[in-house]
Amino acid sequence: MTRLTTRTYQYSDKSATLYLAFELSSSEWKLGFSTGLGQKARRRSIEAGDLNKLQAEIRAAKKRFTLPETIRVVSCYEAGREAFWLHRYLTKSGVENVIVDSSSIEVKRRERKAKTDRLDVQKLLIMLIRYHLGERKVWSVVQAPSPEEEDRRQVHRELSALRKEKTRTSNRTKGRLNLSEDQLDAIRLWDGSGLPPDLKDRLKWEWEHLLFIEARIRSLETDRRRVLRQAEDSDAPKIKQLAMLRGIGSNGAWIFVKEFFGWRKFNNRKELGSLAGLTPTPFRSGALIREQGISKAGNRHIREIAIEIGWSWVRYQPKSKLTQWFLKRFGNGGPRARKIGIVALSRRLLIDLWRFLETGAVPEGAELKANS
């Protein structure tokens, strides 16, 4: 009788996937590789931005896990430090990458949270595998704009930063002396002496800085008006359409379109509200029920302008259904109630503006500007 020996051979599955998670920092990138939930992760570190070394580590991981060169590679990293350029590079290299909203990553509430780069990359790797196995709600994925769409957002973002810097610089200058540069030489202290030289130099620098900021703001606003007037931008029709509504100026319309409606695609109103960060965050546990305020996980540029436009809408669109709803429910309340109400109005207004751009349906009761 011949005894048959049973041998077990391990073959590489041609349909397998190589998973790659990044933990990014300014000096170093942590990489985590795996082929599934039961597979021990392969962890490596490379110098930040070293793309040649990154490709070498991907090849080494394929060899380590005995995978073919043509194996599917999927990756992820948290939105923030590297913006979108790394995503574009990975996509062009054949890697299926997702950018993750860091605020959407789940955490254990009953434990102290250990924080190291090694633990972060391990957690991202596990969640990436869960996401690609079908658990789509494990996190929120950030939609990457094209290079042209990303570039078109720089004008209003720089304007916003400059206006804040102008306010800070002006307040610093006024906090010391409410005088222009020409008057600094003539000012005298209590004993008849002039300003100390270092203080005078500081004030002159602050004044010159303020003049530079004001000049830059005027230049950006002039360029933006020219773009809209000459229709040099593909988003100009949508910006002009939004600006037709009373209560919405060119600045608000510009930000709405550039940050939201110009390139993003929404399937429903919940997606829109969530991306804006204007959704409530209730806390319900047994008999304990309380509201923790609005979510701030969305686009802060939209959140800021949406609240501002919300107040403007109440003032300039008194006959609209939204304004009537706000006045009926929150008009007789105190300041806190009105602040809560304006957030709810702003969220509803965003939905109406989205429909206005998509279908042309004017928000109920709203009025267009006389020259529209």
Task: Give the global pTM.
Answer: 0.62
What architecture is domain 17-144? Answer: 2-Layer Sandwich (3.30)
How many Cα atoms are found within 13 Å in the side-chain-facing hemisphere of 327?
Answer: 11
CB 13 within 8 A of CB 67: no
Number of Cβ within 10 Å of residue 238's Cβ equals 19
User: What 3-state DSSP class applies to 342?
Assistant: helix
Higher pLDDT, 320 or 194: 320
Instruction: Tell me the per-residue pLDDT of 47-94, one tens digit each, with 9 for 90 and over.
Output: 998 999 999 999 999 999 999 989 999 999 988 766 788 999 999 999
Give the whole-angstrom CA distance, residue 48 versus residue 86: 11
| Identity of the residue numbered 43 | R
**pLDDT at position 106:** 65
Given pLDDT bands bounded at 50, 70 and 90, which one contains residue 14?
A: very low
How many Cα atoms are found within 13 Å in the side-chain-facing hemisphere of 235?
Answer: 24
Higher pLDDT, 214 or 39: 214
Give the whole-angstrom CA distance, residue 123 versus residue 129: 10
For 357, the token pair is 């751009």
C-alpha torsion 224→228→233→234, nearest 10: 140
Instruction: Tell me the per-residue pLDDT of 209-258, one tens digit each, with 9 for 90 and over.
Output: 888 988 999 998 888 888 888 877 778 888 899 989 999 988 888 888 88
**pLDDT at position 291:** 66
Q: φ, ψ for residue 260 (rounded to 5)?
A: -125, -70
